[in-house]
Structure 1
Amino acid sequence: MLYCDGSIHRYIVLALHENQCQYFGCIFQDVCKSCGAFGRDEESKLISCTQCGQCYHPYCANVKVTKVILLKGWRCLDCTVCEGCGKPDDEGRLLLCDDCDISYHTYCLKPPLEHVPKGNWKCKWCVSCLNCGATTPGFGCNWKNNYTQCGPCASKVICPACRRSYQQEELILQCVQCDR
């Protein structure tokens, strides 16, 4: 990025005359801050930090481009702040979503978490139950199995033949899915 004549330009300056805005050769294309390569074809498209504007290949920033990133934007690690309070401090309690990199302090979540979870953590926009599609853990429940199951689905028993889940109190004699 180059500041010149009161505005910011995204160029790679090949030559610049001292104290003057005379460009002898410029490339008007975004460049990955991490590896320095251009984002030309589909595989090397760049994502831009919504805070500082720096561009990165998703694979250089170790980010999966998800619907949440496309809708809400993305912040690079230098610009990461808690989405709840807007502060970057207390990094030991700052959680990064495993899908979209949005971050929250454990105490800024609603409801707050007492401890930093072991394993994966997903924000409220990315978490959903793999069994039923619920986006909340259920009344009085917490997310289970690394934020992949809501409380009610995690409490179900799985048929050993077809892997379909059922409630323990259903007292099934034969699985409707696989007839065993």
Structure 2
Amino acid sequence: MSETLSASPANEVLRLEQVRKAFNIGTPLETEVLHGIDLRLNRGELAALIGPSGSGKSTLLNLIGLLDTPSSGELYVLGQATRDSDDEARTHLRNQAIGFVFQFHHLISAFSVLENVLMPLMIRHGKPSRADIDLARGLLDEVGLAQFADKKPTQISGGQQQRVAIARALVTRPPLLLADEPTG
């Protein structure tokens, strides 16, 4: 029997309250792309964002991922309001709470597959621990790429690179995982 998560603040990972996003504000080209979005996600929930090209899906993901700020409204990650946070606070929260799988994998070609998976932990702690390395190797195994750990991203296929990006997004065990067309 499955257990349903309650909507308690302890289970809440993401909340958007009347989030709006406009571009070219104050010019004749001003365009509001997001019009008062309300959303709540709790731990363990899965949501899919679907819509036609140009409907604001990537804009919304950029806001949720703290890569951009709303024009108005508030976005909470793990209960923390983010709209007025400075870059340092947003970067810290992003590193602690959010995993990303971008449409394009953004692997760093100078680093090995394993080092690319470890990158979020290296940003967080510096030199990875043995436990970090074991976790990264385990994730590579789970995505079927353990044998490529020492290869450079340019030495594996595009689909394999995308699986490396998925392992990298999971290595910090983030409460919130964002995937922008991860099968692309």
Could you state the TM-score of these two structures normalised by the residue count of structure 2? 0.26
Which one has a bigger Cα radius of gyration?
1
Could you state the TM-score of these two structures normalised by the residue count of structure 1? 0.26
Write 1 or 2 for the structure with the bigger share of helix.
Answer: 2
